[in-house]
Amino acid sequence: MATCNFFAVDLGATSGRTILGSIVDGKLEQRELTRFPNQIIETGGHFFWDIYALYAEIIRGLKLVADEHIEIQSVGIDTWGVDFVMIGKDGGILRNPYCYRDPHTEGAMEEYFKLVPKEKVYEKTGIQFMNFNSLFQLATLRRNGDSALEVADKILFVPDALMYMLTGEAVCEYTILSTSQLLDPRTKRIDTELLEVIGLKEKQFGRYVNPSDKVGVLSEEVQRQTGLGAVPVVAVAGHDTGAAVAAVPARDERFAYLSCGTWSLLGIETKDAIINKESFAYNFTNEGGIDGTTRFLKNICGMWLLERCRKEWTDAPKDVNLINNESLEAEPFRCFINPDAPCFANPVSMVDAIREYCRKTGQHVPEGYKEIARCIFESLAMRYRQVLGYLKDLSPFEIEKLHVIGGGTYNRHLMQFTANSVGIPVVCGPVEGTAIGNIMLQAKAAGLVGDMFEMRKIIAASIELKTYLPQDREAWDVAYEKYLAVSNAEI
């Protein structure tokens, strides 16, 4: 197979990068071209993203490609979810987009539920409730008489807006739309009733596209700025989590995935959305995946717990790997926390919050960083088992493996604990899944792979995977009962 090059733009909520991905002899190679901050702008009492700065960084990366005389097959962009850009009738951007961290949506869900009941919104969308979802952002802007929304001709989610700036084509990509709480996952289209109660129309969003669909080509303006030709721009999985899950090197559908980092996302890939009383009660969400699939998942607190504790510890090693190793010196199963308990959302002191939780639940109160770190790792492993149990009850197929992607895979002790807890093999890798998914979906658009399993076969051949098998099952089963006894405590 000849070398094919793809230009991937991967934008997170704090930083972004451009990557050159190449398929060489059936294997994937990557090179980071640029890395840059994505800064939130605070002005006029609101928080905004600088869409023009992000566009300029994309142009800078494309110029590097041209300067090195690299021929690229296409360009693909993935970003965080829910936020959007408003376009006027003259085709111009009306202003920088609001950031989902802006406090103007506080109480927005309750206001919207006066128009459409909460249960009906979930039945229509299957999306977990968060006040910054696009639906509630739009309702807030309408309620506040926002001047840009009043005259908006098009509303484009961030990756779609950047593709618009590159091509002049206005599209609405499936995976990024799915984060908005506007999508009916059964029809794969916007639910018009949810929009109409706030005075908006489906036609205000771009034409629908799916991952690997061609959006257009670089405009003449962009060609002139970069020195490139009419390079195609491809709609990858515009939502970064969708791109990351696309990179899971699974052989078949019988797996669950865990995106493990500051936060954990645990779910399965299904053909159809799962929307029922149980999924509503467990607060599961249905988001768009590749090849028309749905990512049925639940958000779980992750390494945020450890990150916050590390900022407080004065006697712990600076190297997180040493903390991970030394945690094994602590006695196992002495105390547990529910990582998703409200008291751990953003406490003044995470160390004190963990100790207080254990004290109020009648457990051993951990002392020192070794005991606290072990408590965190074991509790996360138990929480993964608990949520995986919900998934097993709701899944239309048997779950045989847990694929873990993201930075948490570096913590081999947590990965072994997870295997011990969930009782099925845990397969780790890749770490940088988002960029890989972006690149491979472009490769699919170029005809180099036929479906997601061919795509994942190349990924598996290109990275090193580490598999952890369950150990000490009896001891972990006994400990899990202890975890369940304290996990529902109201602290």
pLDDT tens digits for range 316-333: 999 999 999 999 999 999
Q: Are both 84 and 233 inside the same structural domain? A: yes
Q: Are both 68 and 202 inside the same structural domain? A: yes
* CA 406 to the chain's CA centroid: 11
71-118 residue pLDDT tens: 999 999 999 999 999 999 999 999 999 999 899 999 999 999 999 999
Give the amino acid at 361: T
Domain membership of residue 458 (yes or no) is no
261-303 residue pLDDT tens: 888 999 999 999 999 999 999 999 999 999 989 999 998 989 9
Domain boundary among 238, 273, 297: 238
Pairing of β 213-217 and β 207-209? unpaired
Domain membership of residue 457 (yes or no) is no
Domain boundary among 238, 272, 294: 238
Q: Are both 142 and 190 inside the same structural domain? A: yes
Report the domain count for the chain: 2
Q: Are both 354 and 221 inside the same structural domain? A: no
- Which position among 25, 240, 252, 272 bears the catalytic label? 240
Q: Model pTM?
A: 0.89
Mean pLDDT of the chain: 96
Domain membership of residue 286 (yes or no) is yes
Domain membership of residue 412 (yes or no) is yes
Q: Return d(Cα 172, Cα 186) in angstroms, integer.
A: 17
Q: Are both 416 and 349 inside the same structural domain? A: yes
Beta strands in 169-284 (DSSP E): 171-173, 183-184, 189-190, 207-209, 213-217, 232-235, 255-260, 263-270
Domain membership of residue 191 (yes or no) is yes
Domain membership of residue 399 (yes or no) is yes
Domain boundary among 238, 263, 292: 238
Q: Are both 89 and 227 inside the same structural domain? A: yes
Longest CA–CA separation in the chain, Å: 68
Are 313 and 369 in contact by the 8 Å Cβ rule? The answer is yes
Domain membership of residue 451 (yes or no) is no
Q: Return d(Cα 195, Cα 141) in angstroms, integer.
A: 13
Q: Are both 28 and 74 inside the same structural domain? A: yes
Q: Are both 113 and 255 inside the same structural domain? A: no
Please list, in sequence order, all residues whose beta carbon lies within 8 angstroms of the beta carbon of residue 464, skipping any fewer than 6 positions away: 429
Q: Are both 67 and 211 inside the same structural domain? A: yes
Domain membership of residue 456 (yes or no) is no
| Catalytic residue list contains 25 | no
Q: Are both 214 and 71 inside the same structural domain? A: yes
Q: How many CA atoms lie within 13 A of 146 on its CB side?
A: 19
Q: Report the CATH number that the domain containing residue 249 is assigned in CATH.
A: 3.30.420.40
Q: Which residues of the chain have pLDDT under 70?
A: 1-2, 490-491
Question: Domain span at residue 110?
Answer: 4-238
